[in-house]
Structure 1
Amino acid sequence: MQQATADDWFRTRRDDTRGAEALQAGLSRHAYGRHAHATYAVGFTERGSQSFWCRGARHRTQPGSVILFSPFDLHDGHATTDAGVVYRMLYLAPEPLSAALAELGPRHEIGFRDVVAEDPPLAAALFAYAHELDAGDDPFAAGERYLGLAATLMRHAGRRGRAEDAGHGAIAGLAARMREEMAERLTIEALAEGEGLGRFQLIRAFRRRFGLPPSEYLRAIRLEAAKGALARGIPPAEAAAEAGFTDQAHLTRLFKRAYGLTPAAYARQAGVPRLPRRT
């Protein structure tokens, strides 16, 4: 994986009320390693082109292309040409998005059918919400833009996972346990025994449910937890321990692969003014 250079830049903004984060980035040489997010990740290409692997295929964007990652979609990414790429991504926590979508009909966990779409109205909705987060001074407008985005995302939504899938209940319980105990030194043997599953059975069922092995799931939720801790002002070393990483160096290596920034650099950006939490 190539490292970020002076030509690569990243800017983040947070909306704590709705559990969302906006990223705007310009990449020339930096390449993301394969990783997954615990959130929905939706965005669009502003200038240039980017290429990435996801769901067993390579994809390429053009200006205006919309990118749609469901939670735990494994992917990588890099600029397609030396001209680089400028793009925006919004990371949307599943619970608030599901609550908003439930008002429109679906009361199940959604997944996106396509990874790349040519949808100008959706790109416009993404930009409108991201623009409000950039400004950071109008929570009412941000809430309205968020709902507009949620409604526009509906056209790309499909059902994600089914309760009748084999092992669904056991895997749901296991995922909840991993979230609760992520700071502990978990092992595949202990998790399998706790759910009454064989180790191979656990891995197969986890792949069916989430599309990735349990180790990648655990890594994604630990990174998301560390990111939240950093945004609250917790020092990187403490954030690493709180999320279950071996040490700060372990967190830094995986954090840069997933987000392009070191934890310290992200913490500095997360300290910029952002929409206040609703009380």
Structure 2
Amino acid sequence: MKKEVRTVVYDDDLRVEAYRLEGVIQPFPNHFHEYYVIGLIEGGVRELSCKNQKYTIQKGNILLFNPGDNHACVQSDGNTLDYRGVNITKEVMLDLAEEITGRRDFPEFSRHVILDEEAACYLRPLHDWIMKGSSEFRKEEYLLLLLSMLIQKYGRSFEPGIPCPEEIEKACVFMEQHYGERIYLEQICRCAGLSKSALLRAFTRAKGVTPYGYLENIRIGKAKKLLEQGVTPMEAALQTGFSDQSHFTNYFNRFIGLTPGVYRDIFLGRDEAEKKI
């Protein structure tokens, strides 16, 4: 079996993150990200579920996830997953979209799985250059060309927050403000003005995950930022509301594909390299 390798690199010039997974058999449970994901399957066959739609994804497929798009996947053949992807925060995407379209609107990808060789021809070298730490401005060209093509062919503008009822937005804001505390479902319901059953039904329908799943995703996102700043995994777990470091480590590894310690070391290594320059 192919040796498992997981690598993540942050590009300071582009302000985007590149992932590479090789030899992975791990399933990924239902979750979402607070950023855009553009990924390319290089090997293996997986069953993907995204926003209640089922897909079979394999080599050549490009994945397009908007912030908040819930998805899960599991290997469906005897091979392992070989995947490369680029993660773009909403703030950076807003700047890129304005550069491309002239409008400061968030793009929304209308399709989650595509087969587009032209797009793949931009994504592969862009990803390679980020992983290798290239400083050539061609990587910025390729990022803009890739996004321009994807937005034109598969995107539409949207205003963030419109699809969700006011009560659900109140619940989201409450969790975003209190993620570092021990939160009870009753508190969220009181803030949203809904009963527990009504909140669970409405929230899951609107967001694709339960309120608890949404809270854990917020915590993981906040923990990533702390680890990038050099905070220890134990302190990151405490600051983001996880009950203990073991729970934090297991959850982080399930959704990010790396342990908190390994993720933190990547950024510490980058900082040390910059000091030597």
**TM-score where L is the length of structure 2:** 0.83
1:27 paired with 2:23, answer yes
Matches within 5 A, 1:105-254: 107-138=104-135, 140-154=137-151, 155-159=153-157, 167-168=165-166, 170-254=167-251
For residues 92-123 of structure 1, the C-alpha deviation after alignment (integer angstroms, 9 at most, x for no partner) is: 11222123213415654443222210011222
Distance 1:28 1:190, change over 3 A: closer
Deviation of 1:223 (Å):
1.0
Deviation of 1:242 (Å):
1.7
Q: Which residue identity is paired with 1:167? A: P
Structure 2 regions of 5+ residues with no counterpart?
A: none
> For residues 105 and 202 of structure 1, what CA distance do their matches in structure 2 show?
38
Q: Which residue identity is paired with 2:115? A: E
Deviation of 1:174 (Å):
3.6
Percent identity over the alignment is 27
> For residues 18 and 32 of structure 2, what CA distance do their matches in structure 1 show?
17
1:83 paired with 2:83, answer no
1:94 paired with 2:85, answer no
Asked which structure has the greater RCO (Cα within 8 Å, sep 6+), the reply is 1
Counterpart selection for 1:263 from 257, 260, 264: 260
Q: Is the 8 A contact 1:43 1:123 kept in 2?
A: no
Deviation of 1:57 (Å):
3.6
Q: CA RMSD in A?
A: 2.9
Distance 1:225 1:17, change over 3 A: farther
Q: Is the 8 A contact 1:79 1:85 kept in 2?
A: yes
Deviation of 1:147 (Å):
2.5
Counterpart selection for 2:41 from 36, 41, 45: 45
Deviation of 1:22 (Å):
0.8
Q: Is the 8 A contact 1:42 1:66 kept in 2?
A: yes
> For residues 98 and 245 of structure 1, what CA distance do their matches in structure 2 show?
31
Deviation of 1:142 (Å):
4.0
For residues 212-253 of structure 1, the C-alpha deviation after alignment (integer angstroms, 9 at most, x for no partner) is: 222211111211111222122111111111222111111111
Q: Is the 8 A contact 2:70 2:207 kept in 1?
A: no
**TM-score where L is the length of structure 1:** 0.83
Aligned residue pairs total 271
| Greater Cα offset, 239-248 or 106-115 | 106-115
> For residues 6 and 228 of structure 1, what CA distance do their matches in structure 2 show?
31
Matches within 5 A, 1:46-85: 46-85=42-81
